[in-house]
Amino acid sequence: MPDTVRPNSLDAFWMPFTPNRQFKADPRMIVRAEGMHYYTPEGRAIIDGTSGLWCCAAGHARPRIVAAIQKAAAELDYATSFNLGHPLAFEFANRLAGILPEGMDRIAFTNSGSESVDTALKIALAYQRARGKAGKFRLIGRERGYHGVNFGGTSVGGITRNRMMFGPLVGGVDHLPHTLDIARNAFSRGQPQHGAKFADALERLVQLHDASTIAAVIVEPVAGATGVIMPPKGYLQRLRELCTRHDILLIFDEVITGFGRLGAPFAAHRFEVQPDIISMAKAITNAAVPMGAVAASRKIYDTILEASDTPIEFFHGYTGSGHPLACAAGIATLDTYREEGLFERAAELEPYWEDALHSLRDASHVIDIRNLGLIGGIELEPRSGAPTQRALDVHRACFDAGVLVRTTGDIIALSPPLIIEKAQIDHIVGTIREALATVA
C-alpha cells in the first residue's frame, strides 16, 4: 500500500483543542521532559507551568514511575478485567481507597477523565434504578462546567463551544448557574466571599422538575477548563445540604483537583464536603500512562449488586479498565506523592504562590486573578473583535521565553508540578509579566 504522507509532515495529526491551521503554520514542538521542564528539539528548556495539562503533579520522567512501567510491560503487558483479575489492579484500588474520603472505597477504573465522568453518571443512574427509583433520571451539571468530551460529560458540561456542534446530546439534563462573579469577587485571594447562594438555584430546578426525577448533580469543586473558577465560601457545603435534603446524589469531578492540587489528597478533604461519587484521572498516574477512576460509596456499590437479577451486576467497563501498566504507574505515583510529601508541599507553597500571582494585578490587560492551592487563573481583557487571541499571543510569547502556560478563552491558566521551587514560581510570574507587556 503506497505511503502518501511524508513521515515528518504535520498534516495527518488532527490536534485536539488546538487552532490547527495556526499551529501548523508556526509550530512549537517539544521532544523530551524531565523534572520541571520540557525540552524543544533544539535542547531549549521550557519550565512547565501547567503540569502538562493539570496532570504531571510530580514532575516529569520520575524514575520510580518509569521503572514501574518498564517492569510491568515486561511481566504482564495486558490483561482483561472482564471475568479475570491481576494483582496490581486490586492493590491499586485498595491504595486509592486509603487516600480517598472515608467510605469512598469502591473503585472502578477507566482510561481518562471523560470516561470517568460517563462512568460516574451511569453509576448514579444505576443506583437510583437499583433502589426502586428509576424515575430519578435527570442529571444536573453547571454552566461553564467541563466534564470531558464523551456524550454524557458534554451533556452535563456547560461550555457553549464544546456543545453547540453535536446536536441534542443526552436528554434529561439541566444546569446550575456558574459561580464566577467578577463584579463582586475580582482579585479574591483563595475562595471568594460572595456567591454561596448560587447553590440555591438547585431549589429552582427541584421546583421545575421535582426531586423525584433528579438522579445526581455533578460539579467540579474548582472549575478548570472554563477559566479557573473557585467555589465561593459555603457554596459546596450548601450544595451538599440541598442534595441531601432532596435525595440527590452529589458527584465531584476531581479530575484536576485530585492528588494534591489543593494541598490535600482531594478537594473533598480541602472543603470538608463528602460527595457520593468522585471521578478522577490525570495525576492518578502522573499522566505517565492514561488512566482514570471513579470512587463510589459502599452503599451505592452494595445497592447495585444486591438489586441485580443477573450475575453481572453493572453492564459497563472498558477494554483497558485496570490496565497493568497504568496500575503499576499509579502505585508508583502514590509512593512518590507520599515519600516526597507532595500534597503537604502544595499546602506549604500556597501562600507564596498566591502572593506571586497577585503581584500581577497591575500588569497590562489583567482584569482578575484567581487562586487556590497550586492553581492560578489570570483573566485578561479581551481584545476588541478578537476574543481569546490576546491570551494565545501571551501563550506563544511565554513559550518563546521558556515558560509553558495554558490558555482557555482569555484566561491564562496555571497549575505547576507540586515539586516547583519558589525561584521557579518567580520566574513563571516574571515571564508572564514581560509577555503581557509585549502583546497588544
pLDDT in tens, 384-436: 999 999 999 999 999 999 999 999 999 999 999 999 999 999 999 999 999 99
Give residue-wise pLDDT tens across range 107-149: 999 999 999 999 999 999 999 999 999 999 999 999 999 999 9
Can you give the pLDDT at residue 318? 98
Q: What is the pLDDT of residue 121?
A: 98
Query: Where does residue 16 fall: left (phi above 0), alpha (psi -120 to 50 degrees), or beta otherwise?
Result: beta
The residues spanned by each domain of the chain are 20-61+341-438, 66-340
Buried b (16+ CB within 10 A) or exposed e, 206-241: beeeebeebbbbbbbbbbbbbbbbbbbbbbbebbbe
For the cut 60, the answer to whether the pLDDT of residue 24 exceeds it is yes
User: pLDDT confidence of 65, banded at 50, 70, 90?
Assistant: very high
Cα within 13 Å of Cα(390), Cβ side: 22
Predicted pLDDT at 110: 98
Please state which of the four CATH numbers 3.40.640.10, 3.30.56.10, 3.30.70.2190, 1.10.150.80 is assigned to the domain occupying 66-340.
3.40.640.10
Residue 21 phi, psi (nearest 5): -65, -45
Q: Does 5 score more than 90 pLDDT?
A: no
What is the CATH T-level fold of the domain 20-61+341-438, as seen in this structure? Aspartate Aminotransferase, domain 1 (3.90.1150)
- pLDDT of 8: 77
Q: Can you give the pLDDT at residue 298?
A: 96
Q: Check whether 53 has a pLDDT greater than 70.
A: yes
Mean pLDDT of 303-327: 98
Q: 66-340: same fold as 20-61+341-438?
A: no
- In this model, does residue 7 exceed pLDDT 90? no
Average pLDDT of the chain is 97
Q: Which residues contact 350 (CB under 8 A, 6 or more apart)?
A: 263, 372, 373, 374
The pLDDT of residue 59 is above 80: yes
Q: Does the pLDDT at position 94 exceed 80?
A: yes
pLDDT tens-digit map of 200-219: 999 999 999 999 999 999 99
Q: Provide the pLDDT confidence category of residue 2 given band limits of 50, 70 and 90.
A: low
Residues of the chain above pLDDT 70, percent: 98
